[in-house]
A and B are shown apart, each in its own frame.
Chain A
Amino acid sequence: MDMNTKDINGNGNTKISKQNVDTVKKKFAFTEIWKKYSIAFVLLMMIVTISIIEPKFLSSKNIFNVLTQAAIFGIMSLGLTLIIISKGIDLSAGSLLALAGIIAASLGQVANATSKFYPNIGELPLIIPILVALGIGGILGTINGGLIAFTGIPAFIATLGMTTIARGFTLMYTGGKPISQLTPQFTFLGDKIGILPIPVLIYGIMIIITWVILNYTSFGKNIYAIGGNINAAEVSGVNVKKNIVLIYMYAGLMYGVAALVFAGRVGSVHPGAATGYELTAIAATTIGGTSHAGGIGTIGGAVIGALILSVLRNGLTLLGVQAYWQQIVEGAIIVGAVIVDMRKHKKKN
């Protein structure tokens, strides 16, 4: 592409270079489309292949199953997409989910639960655990962002520390015991309206909100700028520190939402819950074309990435493939996706 533009930037008054521009434009349009949708083609091909071998895959029940399975790490990956576009990383997503989830669950047990965490408070309306989960996610996310923005330590280190700290608090909070017997209101979050699973509905709403934020607000545009060139963003008058804090705070809120879906669906929260979920969410974002070099990434990509992982897990199970193989394939897909992605962004010489 480099040379093409150079030609256009020359005088451009010779016929030869004009012709070049035309052919280049055509080629440009095709490669652009391929670039933009290649990962969606991959998903489509996977769906087609799996459903040819196993038609049951396409039943509405199974499709909702795939979507429901994608919902939890899918919601997490929405937050992580913002972080990774800004050239950051968050390893604490799974731990924050567990901590937010377990505290929310402790406030959402039925009145006569056998091992009630707060025996004296009776049954609280659902809004309490919701606010608590969002609050914990948001506050701990803000701490992540604050550490990164104001002390200058790498995001990897800050969130690595947060991972262990949050997990420690989670264990301490319940003394290592799980919390179960949640109110029907709470478990409704993991249930269905008609055939539509609530986790899918929540995932859908979060996708729309995050998409609007990333594409239609100054905050969203600043995220790309910070990831694209943090120095240039600073000079352009972007309040870099404030925005970094907001990015991690928003991601924390997403983990809070994911925690509620998790608790509702499983019906209980174990202190070791969601271990390693951050890696699945990071994988979804990465497969979806968000570059760890910063400045590049889309919400659509993150959603497709999450679906690819979910379709893969579901499909391979349907096809009777051993769970060990599923992991191996998953790993290969993550690496493969990044190889394709790097090629796509490489400047042609």
Chain B
Amino acid sequence: MTEDKNILEMRNIVKTFPGVQALKGVDLNVKYGEIHALLGENGAGKSTLVKCLIGIYQKTSGEIVFESECIDNYTTADALRMGISMIHQELSPVEHRSIMENIWLGREPKTKLGFVDHNKMYEITKEVLKRIDLDEDPKTLMADLSVAKIQMIEIAKAISYNAKLIIMDEPTSALTNKEIDQLFTIMRKLKEEGKSIIYISHKLEEIFTICDTITVYRDGEYIGTERVSDIDTPTLIKMMVGRNVNELYPKVKCDTGDIKLEVDNLTSEGAFRDVSFKVRKGEILGIAGLVGAGRTELIETLFGLRKKTYGQIKIDGKEVDVRTPQEAKGKKMALLTEDRRLNGIFPMLTVFQNITIANLFKYENKFRLFNHKEAIRDVNEYVESIQIKTPSIYQRMENLSGGNQQKVLVARWLMTSPEILIMDEPTRGIDVGAKAEIYKLISTLAEQGKSVILVSSELPEVMRMSDTIMVMYEGRVAGILNNSKDLTQEEIMHYATGQIMKDKAEYM
């Protein structure tokens, strides 16, 4: 293969929006058969650049050369025809239609009479799926597929366009480790076929695993391009954030107190069974496991969002019955949900509204009217203390970056003065800088004696943050491990994949 030839050269790309220069003259060169990572914090300009490339935006100035041809003024449809394909971060399949109808949407093979040729569509879909080793009936409905499978179908779709350059925008954010491995296998296969991939991700581990080259942007400016083999994590982080983030995961070291929360044989039929654990004051309990292990369901049950079949929940030694989130809130629990957009934020409402919603009662005066003055003062205090970057507290939530949205949600729950904080994937989809701040915040909360339950699919995160790690496998506790220096990712994975199922008594 022509290893050193560039398939894509973007030179001095500028993109201006009214009032803002999103890209201030950046470069990107991608070689044939290369996996090229695009890195930068949220707002660095990665998404804007790829949107210019795929034809969603028109660049303000600069040059795009694709396969030695200068291209300009084209639409997304043109880009697809030329062989540039993009797999978007937020997948939008037509849910109640089949795989084949989704892949060939808008360009269905036709019979001579102009009707859709379903037989042909079936056959060519089979072929495409075979190329990525996906054994799925083309007639299966998208709604019946897992997120990972839908992701694979998107890739199949890109291949079906005969794409030479595939852009992947955070493709792994909803995948389990096993599924990520599958994705990587396919990516390597595509690479061998000489196809190029632009890979956008916040997960540095992944980039070091799969990518050949890294280009970093910051604040719409080009910072540099490096071979993966020539660079290490600290340098890379410094390139991204422009400062040293010496401790991305601050080590927690604080004394734990009395038992705050005790769960005994908690069961929710169909989701998890006989889960028992304890959390002390000031302790961070990490819950690890693969997607589908029942972690989210477990904390939903703790928070009253899901019915328990049997089992006991004790807070401060007293048995409690939590049937609704209101009751959970009354027991001084707080829940940061996994899916910010689904059940976290109110996108159209302001930062102020988003923070106060769980705390309205606090600001009611004796006539049960809302005291705005006090609420505004408190909200401003939180915005400042946890450094939420927003022009004002009346900014709409949808205009904030993911990291700042997450901080707003943290502020919402801190305002309720919780004693037990449950966080489900608190750093998903947010950039390195904001991540570090969230970690710091979690540590501080633990120091203040709050009990934290941290659910995360990122093992390094769980391992660095937690005092104790509970690993779940298929709805059961596979093990509860004391976090120590000798604990390795491999060991946790043994539990998470069900290779070790020890009796829980050994750990209690």
Asked whether, in the complex, the Cβ of A6 is within 8 Å of the Cβ of B337, the reply is: no
CB-CB under 8 A from A231, the residues of chain B are: 342-343
Complex formed: what's the CA distance from A229 to B57 in Å? Answer: 29
Asked whether, in the complex, the Cβ of B369 is within 8 Å of the Cβ of A216, the reply is: yes
A343 interface residue, CB < 8 Å from B? no
| A221 touching B370 in the complex, CB below 8 Å, given contacts A3-B17, A9-B43, A234-B343 | yes
| A224 touching B22 in the complex, CB below 8 Å, given contacts A2-B399, A9-B42 | no
Asked whether, in the complex, the Cβ of B346 is within 8 Å of the Cβ of A24, the reply is: no
Q: Kindly provide the distance from the CB of A299 to the nearest chain B CB, expressed in whole angstroms.
A: 15
Asked whether, in the complex, the Cβ of A235 is within 8 Å of the Cβ of B398, the reply is: no
Complex formed: what's the CA distance from A25 to B391 in Å? Answer: 9
Nearest B residue to A221, CB-CB: B360
A327 interface residue, CB < 8 Å from B? no
Complex formed: what's the CA distance from A347 to B396 in Å? Answer: 11
B344 interface residue, CB < 8 Å from A? yes
| A348 touching B17 in the complex, CB below 8 Å, given contacts A5-B391, A9-B400 | yes
B345 interface residue, CB < 8 Å from A? yes
Asked whether, in the complex, the Cβ of A3 is within 8 Å of the Cβ of B219, the reply is: no
Complex formed: what's the CA distance from A291 to B353 in Å? Answer: 17
Mask for A1-17, Cβ within 8 A of B = 1, else 0? 11111111111111011
B305 interface residue, CB < 8 Å from A? yes
Nearest A residue to B330, CB-CB: A237
| A5 touching B395 in the complex, CB below 8 Å, given contacts A10-B219, A216-B369 | yes
Asked whether, in the complex, the Cβ of A238 is within 8 Å of the Cβ of B389, the reply is: no
Asked whether, in the complex, the Cβ of B335 is within 8 Å of the Cβ of A349, the reply is: no
Asked whether, in the complex, the Cβ of B399 is within 8 Å of the Cβ of A5, the reply is: yes
Asked whether, in the complex, the Cβ of B20 is within 8 Å of the Cβ of A347, the reply is: no
Mask for A60-72, Cβ within 8 A of B = 1, else 0? 0000000000000
Q: Kindly provide the distance from the CB of B141 to the nearest chain A CB, expressed in whole angstroms.
A: 23
Asked whether, in the complex, the Cβ of B219 is within 8 Å of the Cβ of A11, the reply is: yes
Asked whether, in the complex, the Cβ of B42 is within 8 Å of the Cβ of A232, the reply is: no
CB-CB under 8 A from B335, the residues of chain A are: 235
Mask for B339-359, Cβ within 8 A of A = 1, else 0? 000111111110001001110
CB-CB under 8 A from A216, the residues of chain B are: 369-370, 372
With beta carbons under 8 angstroms apart, the residue of A3, A4, A234, A345 that contacts B348 is A345
Asked whether, in the complex, the Cβ of A218 is within 8 Å of the Cβ of B19, the reply is: no
Asked whether, in the complex, the Cβ of A225 is within 8 Å of the Cβ of B242, the reply is: no
A233 interface residue, CB < 8 Å from B? yes
Asked whether, in the complex, the Cβ of B326 is within 8 Å of the Cβ of A217, the reply is: no
A264 interface residue, CB < 8 Å from B? no
Q: Kindly provide the distance from the CB of A17 to the nearest chain B CB, expressed in whole angstroms.
A: 6
CB-CB under 8 A from A17, the residues of chain B are: 219
Asked whether, in the complex, the Cβ of B348 is within 8 Å of the Cβ of A10, the reply is: no
Complex formed: what's the CA distance from A45 to B227 in Å? Answer: 63
Complex formed: what's the CA distance from A345 to B18 in Å? Answer: 17
A239 interface residue, CB < 8 Å from B? yes
- Kindly identify, within residues 389 to 409 of chain B, every residue whose CB is under 8 Å from any CB belonging to chain A: 389-391, 395-396, 398-401, 403-404
Question: In the complex, which of the residues A1, A233, A349 has the most CB atoms of chain B within 10 Å of its own CB atom?
Answer: A1
Q: Kindly provide the distance from the CB of A340 to the nearest chain B CB, expressed in whole angstroms.
A: 17
Asked whether, in the complex, the Cβ of B348 is within 8 Å of the Cβ of A296, the reply is: yes
Asked whether, in the complex, the Cβ of A221 is within 8 Å of the Cβ of B399, the reply is: no
- Kindly identify, within residues 237 to 280 of chain B, every residue whose CB is under 8 Å from any CB belonging to chain A: 241-242
Asked whether, in the complex, the Cβ of A233 is within 8 Å of the Cβ of B57, the reply is: no
Asked whether, in the complex, the Cβ of A1 is within 8 Å of the Cβ of B343, the reply is: no
Complex formed: what's the CA distance from A294 to B349 in Å? Answer: 10
Count of chain B residues with Cβ under 8 Å from any Cβ of A? 59
Asked whether, in the complex, the Cβ of A239 is within 8 Å of the Cβ of B324, the reply is: yes
Complex formed: what's the CA distance from A218 to B390 in Å? Answer: 25
Asked whether, in the complex, the Cβ of B22 is within 8 Å of the Cβ of A3, the reply is: yes
Nearest A residue to B24, CB-CB: A16
Complex formed: what's the CA distance from A16 to B23 in Å? Answer: 12
| A218 touching B364 in the complex, CB below 8 Å, given contacts A5-B400, A8-B391, A347-B398 | yes
CB-CB under 8 A from A1, the residues of chain B are: 396, 399
Complex formed: what's the CA distance from A237 to B337 in Å? Answer: 13
Asked whether, in the complex, the Cβ of B328 is within 8 Å of the Cβ of A237, the reply is: yes
Complex formed: what's the CA distance from A3 to B219 in Å? Answer: 11
A23 interface residue, CB < 8 Å from B? yes
A-B pair number, CB within 8 angstroms: 156
CB-CB under 8 A from B395, the residues of chain A are: 5
Asked whether, in the complex, the Cβ of B337 is within 8 Å of the Cβ of A295, the reply is: no
A59 interface residue, CB < 8 Å from B? no
CB-CB under 8 A from A11, the residues of chain B are: 218-219, 241-242
B183 interface residue, CB < 8 Å from A? no
CB-CB under 8 A from B398, the residues of chain A are: 2, 347
Asked whether, in the complex, the Cβ of B218 is within 8 Å of the Cβ of A217, the reply is: no
B329 interface residue, CB < 8 Å from A? yes
Q: Kindly provide the distance from the CB of B309 to the nearest chain A CB, expressed in whole angstroms.
A: 21
Asked whether, in the complex, the Cβ of B353 is within 8 Å of the Cβ of A224, the reply is: yes
A20 interface residue, CB < 8 Å from B? yes
A222 interface residue, CB < 8 Å from B? yes
Asked whether, in the complex, the Cβ of A236 is within 8 Å of the Cβ of B401, the reply is: no
- Kindly identify, within residues 212 to 258 of chain A, every residue whose CB is under 8 Å from any CB belonging to chain B: 212, 215-218, 220-222, 224-225, 228-229, 231-239
Nearest B residue to A5, CB-CB: B399
CB-CB under 8 A from B305, the residues of chain A are: 234-235
Nearest B residue to A242, CB-CB: B326
Asked whether, in the complex, the Cβ of A8 is within 8 Å of the Cβ of B389, the reply is: yes
Q: Kindly provide the distance from the CB of B436 to the nearest chain A CB, expressed in whole angstroms.
A: 14
CB-CB under 8 A from B366, the residues of chain A are: none
Nearest A residue to B398, CB-CB: A347
Q: Kindly provide the distance from the CB of A344 to the nearest chain B CB, expressed in whole angstroms.
A: 12
B325 interface residue, CB < 8 Å from A? yes
Q: Kindly provide the distance from the CB of B453 to the nearest chain A CB, expressed in whole angstroms.
A: 15
Q: Kindly provide the distance from the CB of B352 to the nearest chain A CB, expressed in whole angstroms.
A: 10
Asked whether, in the complex, the Cβ of A236 is within 8 Å of the Cβ of B325, the reply is: yes
CB-CB under 8 A from A5, the residues of chain B are: 390-391, 395, 399-401
With beta carbons under 8 angstroms apart, the residue of B17, B219, B353, B404 that contacts A225 is B353
With beta carbons under 8 angstroms apart, the residue of A9, A24, A218, A237 that contacts B326 is A237
Asked whether, in the complex, the Cβ of A27 is within 8 Å of the Cβ of B19, the reply is: yes
Asked whether, in the complex, the Cβ of B390 is within 8 Å of the Cβ of A236, the reply is: no
Mask for A282-309, Cβ within 8 A of B = 1, else 0? 0000000001011110000000000000
Nearest A residue to B400, CB-CB: A5
B419 interface residue, CB < 8 Å from A? no
A316 interface residue, CB < 8 Å from B? no
Nearest B residue to A345, CB-CB: B348
A147 interface residue, CB < 8 Å from B? no
| A7 touching B369 in the complex, CB below 8 Å, given contacts A225-B357, A239-B324, A345-B348 | no
A21 interface residue, CB < 8 Å from B? yes
Complex formed: what's the CA distance from A237 to B41 in Å? Answer: 32
Task: Jot down 7 A-B pairs with beta carbons below 8 A, ordered by A.
Answer: A1-B396, A6-B22, A8-B391, A221-B357, A222-B357, A232-B342, A295-B346
Q: Which residues of A are at the interface with B, using a C-beta cutoff of 8 A?
A: 1-14, 16-17, 20-21, 23-25, 27-28, 212, 215-218, 220-222, 224-225, 228-229, 231-239, 291, 293-296, 345, 347-349
Q: Give me 9 other A-B pairs in contact (C-beta within 8 A), A6-B401, A216-B370 excluded.
A: A3-B17, A6-B42, A14-B219, A23-B19, A224-B353, A232-B343, A233-B357, A236-B358, A237-B325
Pairs A-B, 3 closest by C-beta atoms: A231-B343, A6-B43, A228-B346
